[in-house]
Each structure stands twice: as structure tokens, then as C-alpha cells.
Structure 1
């Protein structure tokens, strides 16, 4: 598909949006819109077979996510969104690269509530922050398994459900390897299925 190849070429080298200038952002958003117009999955929420899995972030306009790169001595590593439709859960994981032995991880677990065939409400319930080695972090899938069985992590593992932290996510493009979503804060997310 030409539009998908065009989008991937346009976001290549932009480090998930960290290196995108204003002109780049305009070109990327235009390429995203062209691909969204050709969405092969009109009811993505009903397609758990495509949605389920671990998705790696390729590009975003989210200031919140890209902001992790502003801390001195640390860089934003890989970012994952792990979807489990059978349990109605979503897990966001951001790897933070620092000095050797000081690589960090920020993980957030949330409940999904289906609103329409394209949109879900996301209610955040738990956050985990710490050094990867002390959390026993090996991969996004393994981390999600540990969170799902209720494992508690130290030093920072807290419930955020009572803080009314929520938003929504609309899936505007979905195939077996690429997903595009738009969030309530106007952010765009382009992700690839991590196999």
C-alpha cells in the first residue's frame, strides 16, 4: 500500500516525533490523514484479533510522552502500548535510557470502556516507576504478565484510579501491523505491532 509506505518514509528518522520540525509535522499529519481515509478496518474495536498485542510507538505528537526526553542525562527509549481486549486493559510502558545500570521504566495500567466501534474511554488505575533492573524488567510482554497477576513493585507502585485520570482513544486506522490513534488531548499515535 503506497500510503502506508509513504507514511513510514515520512516518519523515518524523526525519533518518534522528537526530531520532527514544524514542516515535518505538517507532512506527517497529511500522510496520516491519507492513510486514515483508507482504513481497512471500519470497526476496529470489534477486531480483538488485530488489536490484541504489544504495539511499539513509531511517532506521536504527545507532549506528555515526548517530555520524558527533557530530563538531563536521560533519553526516551522504546515506548509500548500493550492491549488486552479480553480483560479490557491497556498498558503503556516507556523505557528511559540513562547511565549504565540506571535505565528506567514508567508503566501505567488502565481500564478500557468501549464507547463506539472506534473509540474507548481510558481510565488510568495504576502507575509503576523505577529502574529496569530493580523491577526485573525484561520485555513489555513479561512486564504486563507480572502486572496482571497483581505483583507489587518497588520503589514506586501506586494506585491512580481515585484521581479521576482518564481520557479517550479513537482508533482511526488498523491493520495486522500498523495502528493509528487519536487521543483526547489532540495527540496522534502511530504504532507497529511488536512481534
Structure 2
């Protein structure tokens, strides 16, 4: 079925060397008109029959500007290029792509560590020779498409992933790969154009060394969340021989490694950006002082990703010293807690330092002035999914140097911590009053 996967099968004809764009316009503001207006103008009989006036678009202001132009053009695209681009936007996009490919970005990209990682597909030019899997999945807006490039000491693997959503699962198509700097023992690159039913392959050699990744698919499977096993992808890779092979040329890799252009063996341009995990984006948002709405959006994304410990309340990763990085306080939260939230050093000690079955919240006003509350804690084994820890506060005090001053507090019914996410370094919890907390291991 596959001679080259949607993210791996591409390649393109040569384009003009100069970065000029011929556009149909009466004035420069026509370029900024709405998509609907473009469609009306371009589809009207008058527009189709009238002679085109032309104007030159100024040369791009460098690779960064060209990359930004591409991202702006793709902001309204649906199905990774299936719809949403009018003629003018497509010409602007192609001109910016030409600019980047002439620049080249990082030289010898297949030797760069910046090529490794997970990439998200934003756009494919979707030629008529696209492979069946590309036609089936890539154009569906509800799905996300990724490419993983895994670099080992002496080998490379390329994995193409179609995500059907965090609650459904994914299809993962894997390939062993060959590069100039990491040749795969016994690997023979694809030679011919292949069978038309699978899409014709280009046979052009690479323009220069260390830019091409040759590959051969060797396994694939559906991984559904609701099944305890993987479902094999119904493609007999071993029987298809050369039809499972292809290549991609890395035609541009940005200096910071977050933007990439690829062309491959089936005549398609692919535009990809580095996929930054929601967890990293959440931590960055907190550190950069993003507003609460943005932090909550990313928090929900991390929680819904389904990662982390499955039974966090019982996990050996739960104990330790955790530093509070951000909180959203409920209206009826403790007044002192609300007053000090996100303003001073705030830690939670769970078991290890606090003692077996103990929890302490420590607010460090200054190095010599602390407010400490202690509690007994234990996993709530009746809670669904074992994701709660019951908390019974038994003391509160102010500490000035070594002096401890007890604080009066009213005995209250036990509360709980609901664990929303836990891994080795990040913890997201919700209190029984509705407050949200983001901690990192300290």
C-alpha cells in the first residue's frame, strides 16, 4: 500500500531563483481582503476574463520573515492544505518557501541533532500521486499528524503518527532509515518509479550530501485507548519490497530547530514545526507569567493527554519536596492561602521530610520567617482510580528562626488532594474546595 508515507513522500520541481511574486490587484489592500472576497473575485466571470495587472512583491526580509509569512498563510488552512488557501495566498506561500530553500538553514541537516524529535505536520501540497494513507488521514482536520525522527548512535528511525485524539488513540507507521552519516547496513535505496497504483516516485538524486533520509517501512499498528492490545496495520511490508521504500530531502531546517521544510519521492512539499509537548508549554507559560486563562487551558491539555502515573496517590513518585509554581484559588479558600498564593516561596513536603503518613505546607515569607501547617495524609482507597489523598490538618504555626509560635485553627472535616497529573518532575492537583495547584519537584 505504501511506497512513501504522507510525511515522507515528497519532492518538487525547480522554481525560479528570484523571489518575485506576480499578483492580480488594483491596489495593495486587495492582498489583505478576506478569504470570502478572494473567492468571489476569483470565481466571477469578470475576474476570469479580465486581463491581469501585475506588481512585484518586495524581496523577503530574511528567513525569519519568510517562515513567519508561511505560518501566517497557513493560519486559516484546513486539512493541512486541503482547503483554505486562495490563489494569492498560495503564491505568497510558495515564494516564501523558495526563499527558505535558497537559504537552506542549517547545513548538512541530517547530521544535526536539531533534526531529531517530534514534528507536527502543518501543510502538504497533496499531489495527485499521494499515497492512500495520505489521502485517507492527512486531510482530516480532526486528526493530528506527526513525524518522529529518532537518532541512535549508528542508526535512524522515522515514525509517522496519525493521532485520532487523546481519548481514542493513534496509528503509528515505523520505518528504518539510512543517511550519509549513518548508513544502514545492507540497505538499498529505492530505485524505480514504482507501480502507479501506489503513486509514482521521483528518481532524482539529492542536490547535496547530508540532506536526504532514505527509509523503508517495516511495521505499523493502531493503538486504541479502549483496547488492551495493538491492532496490526493491514499492510504486508515484507511482501511489497521496493514499494515500502521512499525518501525525504530536508530542504530547510531553521537555526533554532523549530521549523522544517521537506520534499520527498512523491512530489510533495511538507511544512512542519517542532511539536512542543503540552507539559513543556505549561511550564513555560507559568514561568513567563501567562494569564490564568492560558495556564488553565494548558493545564487541561496536559491532564487530558493521559500521560503521567495511572494511580498517582499510590505512586512512589508522589512523596518528596514540591515547590508551588502556580495556583488558582477557589473563592472559599483559606484567606491566608489566597493572600500568599503565587507571591512567596511555597512548598509542600509529602511524607519523606514530613514523616510517614504526614504532609506539611510551608510558606517561606523570608529565609527566617515561615508559616507551616501539618497534616496527616493517606491515599483514599475508595476514590475512583485511586487519585485522591485524604488530608487531616492537625497544627499550624509561625516559625521565626528556631522559635515556633502556634497558630489557632478550627478543627475541620478532612479534606483531600485530587491528583490530576503526576510524573517525575511535575504535579497538578486540585483541592477539595476547587483550587488548582501546579508543583514542580524541588
TM bucket normalised to smaller: 0.7 to 0.9
Counterpart-to-counterpart distance in 1, 2:271 and 2:262: 7
Q: Match for residue 4 of structure 1?
A: 67
1:85 Cα deviation (Å)? Answer: 1.7
Q: Give TM-score, length-normalised by structure 2.
A: 0.36
- 1:154 corresponds, among 230, 247, 253, to 230
Distance 2:69 2:141 in 1: 27
TM (normalized to structure 1)?
A: 0.76
TM alignment of 1:76-115, pairs within 5 A: 76-86=142-152, 87-96=155-164, 103-115=168-180
| Alpha-carbon distance, 1:12 to partner | 1.3
Q: Classify the secondary structure of the residue corresponding to 1:163.
A: helix
Task: Report if the CA contact (8 A) 1:54-1:193 is conserved.
Answer: yes
The answer (yes or no) to whether the contact 2:163–2:170 under 8 Å persists in 1 is: yes
1:146-182 deviation per Cα after TM superposition (whole angstroms, max 9, x unaligned):
xxxxxxx532256624422111100000121111100
Structure 2 alignment gaps of length 5 or more = 1-63, 181-208, 277-442
**Superposition deviation, residue 130 in structure 1:** 4.7
| 8 A contact 1:123–1:161 mirrored in 2 | no
Task: Kindly indicate which of the two structures has a greater share of residues assigned to strand.
Answer: 1
What is the CA–CA distance in structure 2 between the aligned matches of 1:85 and 1:69, rounded to whole Å?
A: 25
Within the alignment, does 1:19 sit opposite 2:83 as a pair?
yes
1:180 equivalenced with 2:248 (yes/no): no
Residues 188/161 of structure 1: CA separation in 2 closer, same or farther (3 Å cut): farther
More helix by proportion, 1 or 2? 1
Mapped to 1, the partners of 2:156 and 2:169 lie a distance apart of: 26
Measured against aligned partners, the alpha-carbon deviations of 1:10-36 in whole angstroms (never above 9, x if no partner) come to 111113212244614443222211111
* Aligned match of 2:211: 118
- Report the Cα offset of residue 189 of structure 1: 0.9
RMSD across aligned C-alpha pairs, in angstroms?
Answer: 2.5
Does the CA-based 8 Å contact 1:129-1:157 persist in structure 2? yes
How many residue pairs match? The answer is 171
What's the secondary structure of 2:266's corresponding residue? Answer: coil
- Deviation of 1:104 after TM superposition, in Å, equals 4.8
Which residues in structure 2 correspond to 1:28-39 (within 5 Å)? 28-39=93-104
CA deviation map 1:105-138 (0-9, x unaligned)? 2210001111531111111111112534436xxx
* Gaps in structure 1 of 5+ consecutive residues: 136-152
CA distance in 2, matches of 1:192, 1:132: 26
